[in-house]
Amino acid sequence: MTAGAPVITLDGPGGAGKGTLASELARGLGWWLLDSGALYRLVGLSALREGLNPGADADRARAAVIAQGLAVHFVPDTGAGQRVELAGADVTDAIRADDVSEAASRWAALPAIRQALLARQRDFVVPPGLVADGRDMGTVIFPQADLKLYITASAHERARRRYAQLSEKGVAANLERIYREIVERDQRDASRDAAPLKPAADAHVIDTTGEDVATSLEKIHDLVAAKGWRVD
C-alpha cells in the first residue's frame, strides 16, 4: 500500500492502449489519473521551444530546471481523458506532435530529468486513489503500488493503430515509417540506463494485440474487483 491512498500502475510501450485504458479505469473508479508521459512531453516541448540540445551540458542543466518548475495543469475533459495546460495555455495537441514525441523520448533518457520529475509524480497520490500511466510507474515511482499492470501489444499492431489514428485525423502517414520509429523508440526506452522500460516483477502482463478496448478493460476490471475496489 502506498502512503496516503491506493495506487494502480499501468506501464508499457507507447501505442499499446495504456492511455485509453488508464483514463477509462480512473473514470470508472472515480480516482485521479497521472499521465506521466505528458510530463516528459512538456519537457520536450519546452526544450524544443528554447532550442535546447540534450547533448550539451548547459542545455541539460537548463532542461532540468524547466522539468522541476513545469507549470502544468491537468484539466478533466468531458470525454474520457484530460486536457493539458502549460502556464495556462492548452498544449494537449501540441505535445502529441511527432517532433515532441521524439524530443520527449530523448530527454526522458536523462537521469537528471527523471529525478527532477520524481517528487512531483508522487504528489499525485491523493485520496480516493491514483491510476498512474507511464513506463516506470510500477518499477521506480510507485514500487509499493497496490496493483501493477504492464500493457503491451506487438510493434506491428501499435504501428497500425497509430496509422489509423492519423488517417482518421486526415494526416498523411506512412505505415512502414511509423513502424520503424516505434521499434527505434522502444529500443531507446528499453535500453536506457535510467528507468528502462520493463515490467515490474509483480506486474500482471496484458497483451492487447488483436483485442478491442472493451476486452482489455474487462480483464483489468477483473483484477481490480479481486482487490475489492468497485468500478462503475
Our finding on whether 74 is near ligand DC (CB under 6 A) is: no
Our finding on whether 33 is near ligand DC (CB under 6 A) is: no
Our finding on whether 136 is near ligand DC (CB under 6 A) is: yes
Number of residues engaging ligand DC in binding (CB under 6 A)? 13
Q: Of 59-67, 81-89, 128-136, 148-156, which segment contacts ligand DC by CB under 6 A?
A: 128-136
Out of 7, 21, 41, 66, which residue is the one contacting ligand DC (CB under 6 A)? 41
Q: Which of residues 46-65 bind ligand DC (CB under 6 A)?
A: none
Give strand pairing partners of 204.
149
Strands (E), 87-211: 89-90, 130-134, 147-152, 204-207
**Residue whose Cβ sits closest to ligand DC:** 37
Fill in the per-residue mask, 152 to 191: x = in contact with ligand DC (CB under 6 A), - = not in contact: ---------------------------------x---x--
Helices 98-108 and 175-191: angle between axes, nearest 10 degrees:
20
Environment class of 153 (CB within 10 Å of its CB; exposed 0-12, middle 13-18, buried 19+) = buried
Q: Which residue has the cell 483514463?
A: 23
Q: Of 32-40, 47-55, 62-70, 211-219, which segment contacts ligand DC by CB under 6 A?
A: 32-40
Closest to ligand DC by CB, 30 vs 115, is: 115
Q: Which of residues 91-110 bind ligand DC (CB under 6 A)?
A: 104-105, 108
Nearest distance from C-beta of residue 191 to ligand DC, angstroms: 12
Distance between CA 207 and CA 216 in Å, rounded?
A: 8
Distance between CA 136 and CA 166 in Å, rounded?
A: 27
For 165, other C-beta atoms within 10 Å of its C-beta total 14
Out of 9, 23, 36, 208, which residue is the one contacting ligand DC (CB under 6 A)? 36
Distance between CA 80 and CA 28 in Å, rounded?
A: 10
Out of 47, 63, 135, 148, which residue is the one contacting ligand DC (CB under 6 A)? 135
DSSP state of 94: G
The answer for 193, left when phi > 0, alpha when psi is -120 to 50, beta otherwise, is alpha
Here the cell at position 192 is 536506457
Q: Residues in the site for ligand DC, rule: CB under 6 A?
A: 14, 36-37, 40-41, 104-105, 108, 134-136, 185, 189
